[in-house]
Amino acid sequence: MEKKKYQIIKNSREKESLVDNWFSYCQNKQIPFIVVFTKKKYADIEFDYITLKPKYNYLFKKYSDKIEKDIEEMFWKYREDKIYNNDVFWSELIILHKIPIDNAYLLAEEIYDYINNFKFKFNNYDK
């Protein structure tokens, strides 16, 4: 059975509990926190690596410029329109807006693999 890489949440009343449960799951499994919020035609993706060990958070902060550039390139690959409308929000929690739903699933998987590969590269790193 393949490991679950992200959580899909439709606009629902259970959104908060689903996000909380997924966050706990990610922490326990030491995987990146990635959620796809679906709407009618588009989806938003939220992700964070706070669920990983502190040594990885340090690395992600250290290499944040490269990571942001790479993730933005992935984002634009999956967007239908190429008009920038503040649809990428960077903070501790990264939010990507208005991605066609089918593309959002592909992008979420690509982000997961990217973060995991990055983590794997530095697996022997000790702060």
Domains contained in the chain, CATH given: 7-118 (3.10.310)
CB 33 within 8 A of CB 102: no
Helices 101-121 & 54-62, crossing angle to 10 degrees?
100
Place of tokens 């929690």: 93
Dihedral in degrees, nearest 10, Cα atoms 118, 47, 90, 86: 120
Place of tokens 């993706």: 45
| Confidence (pTM) | 0.85
**Model pLDDT for residues 51-97, shown as the tens digit of each residue:** 988 888 778 888 888 888 899 899 989 987 766 555 566 667 888 98
**Model pLDDT for residues 29-44, shown as the tens digit of each residue:** 999 999 999 988 999 9
